[in-house]
Amino acid sequence: MNIYKKLNEIVNMQPTAVALGNFDGVHKGHQMLIRECVAAAEEKGLAPSVFTFTNHPVNEIAGKTIIKNIMTFEEKAEQLEKLGVENLFSPVFDDTIRTKGAFDFVKDILVDLFHTKHAVCGFNYRFGYKAEGDADRLAQLGREFGYGVSVIPEIRINGNTVSSTLIRQIIDEGRIDEYKDYTGRLYCIDGKVVQGKHLGRRIGFPTVNLSLDTTEAFPRNGVYITQTTVNKQKYQSITNVGNKPTVGEFAKNAETHIFDFDGDLYGQEVRIEFIKMLRPERKFDTLEDLQAEIHKNCLQAQEYFKTSLR
């Protein structure tokens, strides 16, 4: 997949079908939209493409993080490529783009740069200065500039409209087992293993530690059944997300105890996939009480894996 993070990198682009949106979380609504784009591209001999932003427009306008990212840029690109996207246009949302009216946004970017012959958007898509453009305006301009438009209606699962806002709420509340219903995959975090305080090793449960980016949406503090990928191999694991209140107050991080694994992972990249929450994080009176609870949680996780593999 070709990735363009600056508009001035785009030259002599072959005609495209372009999916428009933020695509944070690449949920099932996004997936339907992108599949429509890929199908239109196939039918018309176009390059299936996605136009989004590296940063969230709401955060850029506010000058601070209001909306947290569900996934990293790298994770988003990975999922889009799996869906068949050939070009990912992902510039920074800056004043140059923010101040373009709907007409100029379409002419300067979609038509002149991307050579768009078909555009696909969601029912609630907005574009242009102060979000003046909507799906109807996109279609109206399409008739003027000669590109087709497909509008994807809302998708409902379990009685809920699928949206990135809903998925952030699911993550925030620790309802991590519901994430797969709306995305088709497990919630995951990627990161580099960093040095911890070695408390887990001292109490018999060595862990790998990942520092967490405060601009990203992370699960409610608690203990989760997880699986951890190391060097493309998956291991059963258990993960605590939180601040370790029993031993002090620390920045929020993720500590993962990997079952049946022995090795030094410092500095290596790992992926942790979350399956379900076992319990919220809480403060224990003694380290012995914490140790007993971790032992119990490990047994619960191992029993879960045994049951799920039957």
Q: What's the rounded mean pLDDT across residues 26-50?
A: 97
Cα–Cα distance between 184 and 88 in angstroms, integer? 22
- Alpha helices, DSSP H, located in the chain: 28-44, 57-62, 73-82, 95-98, 102-104, 135-145, 164-172, 179-183, 199-202, 287-308
Question: Residue 247: is its pLDDT beyond 60?
Answer: no
Choice between 28 and 230, residue whose per-residue pLDDT is larger: 28
Which residues, in sequence order, are CB contacts of 43 under 8 Å at separation 6+? Answer: none
In percent, the amount of the chain with pLDDT more than 70 equals: 93
CATH architecture for segment(s) 2-160: 3-Layer(aba) Sandwich (3.40)
- For residue 70, the number of C-alpha atoms closer than 13 Å in the C-beta half-sphere is 24
pLDDT at 18: 98
Q: Does 26 have pLDDT greater than 60?
A: yes
Nearest CA-CA partner of 90 in 195, 10, 177: 10
pLDDT at 3 over 60: yes
Mean pLDDT score, 46-62: 90
Task: Say how far residue 263 (Cα) sits from the centre of its chain.
Answer: 29
Mean pLDDT of 25-53: 97
**Range name among 35-44, 111-120, 234-243 with the lowest pLDDT average:** 234-243
Q: Which residue has the higher pLDDT, 268 or 161?
A: 161
pTM for this entry = 0.88
pLDDT band at 222 (very low <50, low <70, confident <90, very high): very high
Query: Confidence band (pLDDT; 50, 70, 90) for 285?
Result: confident
Q: In terms of CATH architecture, what is 186-308?
A: Beta Barrel (2.40)
- pLDDT confidence of residue 198: 52
The upper half-sphere exposure of residue 128, i.e. CA atoms within 13 Å in the direction of its Cβ, equals 16
Domain ranges in the chain?
A: 2-160, 186-308
For 43, list phi and psi in degrees, rounded to 5: -65, -35
Q: How confident is the model at residue 39 (pLDDT cuts 50, 70, 90)?
A: very high
For residue 248, pLDDT beyond 60: no
Specify the residue for token string 């300067």: 108
Residues annotated as part of the active site: 255
Contact 48, 14 (CB under 8 A): no
Instruction: Tell me which of 20-34, 158-172, 207-221, 229-243 is least confident.
Output: 207-221
DSSP 178: G
d(CA 240, CA 226): 10
Does the pLDDT at position 201 exceed 70?
A: no
Share the mean pLDDT of the chain.
90
For residue 78, give both structure tokens.
Answer: 């990975």
The C-alpha atoms of residue 249 and residue 243 are separated, in whole angstroms, by 6
What pLDDT score was predicted for residue 202?
A: 53
Mean pLDDT of 86-98: 94
Predicted local distance difference test score (pLDDT) of residue 65:
81
**What average pLDDT does this structure show over 83-107?**
95
Contacts of 33 (CB under 8 A, 6+ apart): 19, 21, 120, 121, 122, 152
